[in-house]
Structure 1
Amino acid sequence: MFSTTRPGSPNWIDLGTPDTDAAAEFYREVFGWQVRSAGPGAGGYGFFLLDGKMVGAVGPLTEEGATSSWTVHFHTSDADATAKAVEQAGGSVRMAPDDVFDQGRLAAFTDPTGAEFAVWQPGAHRGLEVVGAENSLLWTELYTPDAAKAGDFYRAVFGWNVQDAPIPGVSYGIVSAAGAGPDDGHGGIMQLPEENLAAGSGPEWHPYIAVADVDATLATAAGSGATVLIPADSAPGVGRLAMFLDPFGAQVAVITPDPS
């Protein structure tokens, strides 16, 4: 399992949504998450908690023209240096590095293929307190119209290792942080097929949440207002997976991994 403290690994996820209260209720129903306010000066931002430990966050939409989505944040020890690396590698800076009180330093970017992501330089707030456990982040995934360009970009910015996965008919790269072991992958880069692009799919990062029973979780999500994008299906050697849009359009995937 990946370490959130290793530079280049995911260390935070948060949801931007037009209705934080309704979104909080949805994720409570689906994953059992509770919400704790980040404080009176946090602009409505709150932490998703699982058994009292932080597994992500939720807040109102803040960028002009933004739509509901999850943002994956990657660990950096120097957000300013990462911003320079992003620009040098052909990406763009959506939000320049800035301090979030004493909690850490945040910056947001867009990669050269159009996918948005962020980095978190930990201060008092170290990031996710649980990963890999039931109802917490297990994996992150990039859908992109140009997997080769995306791979080159993230290698340049984070020093990632990208290894082709032997999946018939699919271009998929397994991603791990520099210095990580062979079993410490934290995500994947998937080339969007032409039919997906024609149907309106675009570049984006989304989280995979580990669950005990994908079929039951998908049924709960659909009953709570989600739209099923990919019905539950089994991938040999991986697990059982599904994907849905929450009631406000944010994309999230769920997985019951095969026993290792």
Structure 2
Amino acid sequence: MNNHEKINYVEFPSRNLIDTKAFFARAFGWDFVDYGPEYTAFSGQGLDGGFFQANACSSTEKGAALLVFYSADLEGTLKKVEDAGGAVIKPIFSFPGGRRFHFTEPSGNEFAVWSDIDV
């Protein structure tokens, strides 16, 4: 459902669409729909979006917005991210309201995962 003047879609650059798709499929079970050789889309993941072929990447160090996943099992999600080829760039740390970690996927885009569940 599209809601008037609400965030509806997000797009990320990808240096390698094949590796990016494989990572998200393996780590989070995502499915993709390809729209030509330079664009792929995902849906049903809390926010629909896509990846476009580019030599850039999204990182907070460069001022990009940070998209954050929620997990009821932070350590389990961290293991899935690592097993799928993601790189943890900020190990699990506590902050007011919970714990989280940051990672990059194979094309270098930064994401975070948080949990409000204590270990």
Which deviations, in whole Å up to 9, do the C-alpha atoms of 1:114-165 show, x marking residues without a partner? xxxxxxxxxxxxxxxxxxxxxxxxxxxxx5xxxxxxxxxxxxxxxxxxxxxx
Describe the shift of the 1:25–1:44 C-alpha distance in structure 2 as closer, same or farther (beyond 3 A): same
Structure-2 change in CA distance of 1:48 and 1:255 (3 Å)? same
Q: Does 1:234 align with 2:94?
A: yes
Secondary structure at 1:34 match in 2: coil
Shift of 1:251: 0.6
1:128-143 matches, within 5 Å, as 143=60
Aligned to 2:34: 37
The reply to whether residue 67 of structure 1 matches residue 22 of structure 2 is no
Between the aligned partners of 2:26 and 2:73, the Cα distance in structure 1 is 14
Q: Tell whether the 8 Å contact from 1:245 to 1:252 is kept in structure 2 after alignment.
A: yes
Matched residue, 2:20 = 23
Matched, 1:225 2:85: yes
Matched residue SS, 2:41? strand
Out of 51, 70, 73, the position equivalent to 1:58 is 51
Residue 5 (structure 1) aligned with residue 3 (structure 2) = yes
Bigger-Rg structure (1/2):
1
d(CA) in 2 for partners of 1:253 and 1:229? 10
Alignment of 1:90-105 (within 5 A): none
Deviation at 1:54, TM superposition (A): 6.2
With over 3 angstroms needed to count, the CA separation of the structure-2 counterparts of 1:228 and 1:212, relative to structure 1, is same
Corresponding residue SS for 2:8: strand
Query: 1: distance between equivalents of 2:111 and 2:74?
Result: 12
SS of the aligned residue for 1:13 comes to strand
SS at match of 1:205: coil
Does the 8 Å CA contact 1:17/1:69 hold for their aligned counterparts?
Answer: no
> In the comparison of the two structures, how many residue pairs are matched?
116
What are the Cα deviations for residues 71-92 of structure 1, in whole angstroms up to 9, with x where unaligned?
Answer: xxxxxxxxxxxxxxxxxxxxxx
Ranked by relative contact order (alpha carbons within 8 Å, sequence separation 6 or more), the top structure is: 2
Higher strand proportion (structure 1 or 2):
1
Question: How many Å apart are 1:12 and its aligned residue?
Answer: 1.6
Name the aligned partner's letter for residue 19 of structure 2. Answer: A
TM-score (norm 1): 0.39
Give 5+ residue unaligned stretches, structure 1.
71-142, 144-200
The 8 Å contact of residues 240 and 255 in structure 1, kept in 2 or not, is answered as yes
CA RMSD of aligned residues (A): 2.6
Report the equivalent of 1:48.
Answer: 42
Moved over 6 A (4+): none
Q: Is this contact kept in 1: 2:11–2:51, CA < 8 A?
A: yes
The reply on whether 1:251 has 2:92 as its aligned counterpart is no
